[in-house]
Structure 1
Amino acid sequence: MLNVHSYESMGTFDGPGLRLVVFLQGCNFKCLYCANPDTITLKGGTPTDVEEIVKMAISQKAFFGKRGGVTVSGGEPTLQAKGLIKLFKRLKEEGIHTCIDSNGSVYNDDVDELLNYVDIVLLDVKHFNPEWHKKITNQTNDKTLLMAKRLEERGIKFWLRYVLVPEYTDQVEHMNALGEYFKEFKHLERMEILPYHTLGKHKYEHLDMPYHLEGVKDNTPKQLEQAKALFEKYIKHVVVN
């Protein structure tokens, strides 16, 4: 069983091609800019049998083509790694491409086994500086960076995802340090810059939760272009998602 928050069919922003995106309930980070604060708590969600998700994926398989498939996001999907092993085994049996979108902070025996059935990982690096990372997520980034090294060692393809938040993640020295760290990774296929937005702000009001980035403005096109140009000095394929 997996505790599912919601689904998105024909997603185009969570991995290659068209994808069925499964959002799981529960996260161990508390990102200040989280667009889905309703997925943070471990409570809630819908207990769902793996075969139900497999049937949904098979019904959409014709639309996936050669590149698409299933992405499991969250929340933080690796918190439910044991259930994901069963799901991804079945998806591979059905010839369906698999992907997880993860903050990389969980690595145990279940996650180690799960990676045997993962085609690509979307690795969310919230900040390269550990103090800023903790300020943003309430956790340090050492485990995330360790996950990146493990993916590289195991030859697992991955994409970096980086949310560009004005005054929080746009410090040039730390962005350069991030690029320098990852420039030699052979299995890093691309980097996605995710623009900061406030589309999920209304959810905080609905949940009676404070929104801590009040007054922070969306990125300008120039800010996004400058960030892209900076990271392109280190990483071959950089896109603004």
Structure 2
Amino acid sequence: MPTPAVRLGSAGRAATPAAAATRRPGEGSVHSWDLSTGVDGPGTRFVTFLSGCPLTCLYCHNPDTWKMRAGQRAPPGGSRGSTSADDVIAEAAKYRRFISASGGGATVSGGEPLLQPVFAGELLHRMKHELGLHTALDTSGFLGARATDALLRDVDLVLLDIKSWDRDTYRKVTGRPLRPTLDFAQRLADLGKEVHLRFVLVPGLTDAPGNIEGVAAFAGSLGNVARVDVLPFHTLGEGKWQALGKDFTLHDTPSPTAEQVDAAKAVFAARGLTAV
């Protein structure tokens, strides 16, 4: 996910259980919003980054989205630490003509947007039906069971991360099991929902040939994966880890070479997938 150029401030305190309980329909915890091109779906996108994530990925470049942090704006009379869907939709509407002309749309991202499925669903529904925008959901899939069929009907594209095929490596990278993501991927395939799969290539961690082949074989079997983004690992988020007092354990891990990235793409291509 890109570093936002147009943001809500990320300052605020972690949401408490009481705050979550009093949050009204139409409100959610929003980290920031941004206009981006090329990394969050086709065309220019209005991207809403929701706060909170159940994963703790070792290479995450936005660890500041992990907690349910307060947005800067709240609706009159709204819950503390929340942002209204009306505010988000009003901001996106400012760019609707420009976004539509670029063949773009709106993406709900995070953090993990399915940590707030009701709010994410409202944003997707209104982006699609009120603003007429192509919609994308950017998710790890770990909380895919929280995505209702109604939510998914309002999604044109799912950006799905499969971070490793080897189960032990997946848990090492994310702190969570792989199975829920695979189940969600199969559900999306059964629904015929278009997927762009993302795989981060980390030397010494996810780059084992068998690991890449496992992801490629699974993706190729689904029938709905329109593209695979092989993303080279980088350390650009290390400063955020340091600012949060967290230990970035991949500090000495190099980025993969162009040859290593091309070799990984070739594995996906061999399974009939478009790898970029």
Fold equivalence (TM over 0.5):
yes
| Cα drift, residue 34 of structure 1 | 0.5
Conserved? CA contact 1:30–1:138, under 8 Å: yes
3-state secondary structure, aligned to 1:183: helix
Aligned to 2:228: 191
Aligned to 1:91: 127
Aligned to 1:119: 156
**Cα distance, 1:136–1:48 mapped onto 2, change above 3 Å:** same
| Cα drift, residue 235 of structure 1 | 3.6
Aligned to 2:55: 29
Give yes or no for the alignment of 1:231 onto 2:268: yes
Aligned to 1:19: 45
Aligned to 1:48: 83
Aligned to 1:63: 98
**Cα distance, 1:190–1:83 mapped onto 2, change above 3 Å:** same
3-state secondary structure, aligned to 1:198: coil
| Cα drift, residue 10 of structure 1 | 3.5
Q: Partners in 2 of 1:221 and 1:66 — Cα distance?
A: 29
Aligned to 1:164: 201
Q: Partners in 2 of 1:109 and 1:71 — Cα distance?
A: 18
| Cα drift, residue 106 of structure 1 | 0.9
Q: Partners in 1 of 2:134 and 2:240 — Cα distance?
A: 32
Conserved? CA contact 2:268–2:274, under 8 Å: no
| TM-score, with structure 1 as normaliser | 0.94
Aligned to 1:205: 242
Structural mapping, 1:75-154, within 5 Å: 75-93=111-129, 94-108=131-145, 110-154=147-191
Gaps of 5+ in 2: 1-26, 73-81
Amino acid at match of 2:274: H
| TM-score, with structure 2 as normaliser | 0.83
User: Which has more radius of gyration?
Assistant: 2
Give yes or no for the alignment of 1:39 onto 2:42: no
Conserved? CA contact 1:190–1:235, under 8 Å: no
Decide which moves more: 225-234 or 59-68. 59-68
Conserved? CA contact 2:227–2:275, under 8 Å: yes
| Cα drift, residue 66 of structure 1 | 6.1
Aligned to 1:5: 31
Decide which moves more: 26-35 or 49-58. 49-58
3-state secondary structure, aligned to 2:94: helix
1:39-94: CA deviations, max 9, x gaps? 11224444211111112222111122263111111100011110122212211222
- RMSD of equivalent CA atoms: 1.4
| Cα drift, residue 110 of structure 1 | 4.8
Amino acid at match of 2:164: H
Q: Partners in 2 of 1:157 and 1:230 — Cα distance?
A: 21
Decide which moves more: 157-166 or 36-45. 36-45
Amino acid at match of 1:125: I
1:188-214: CA deviations, max 9, x gaps? 110001110111101111111111112
Conserved? CA contact 2:161–2:197, under 8 Å: yes
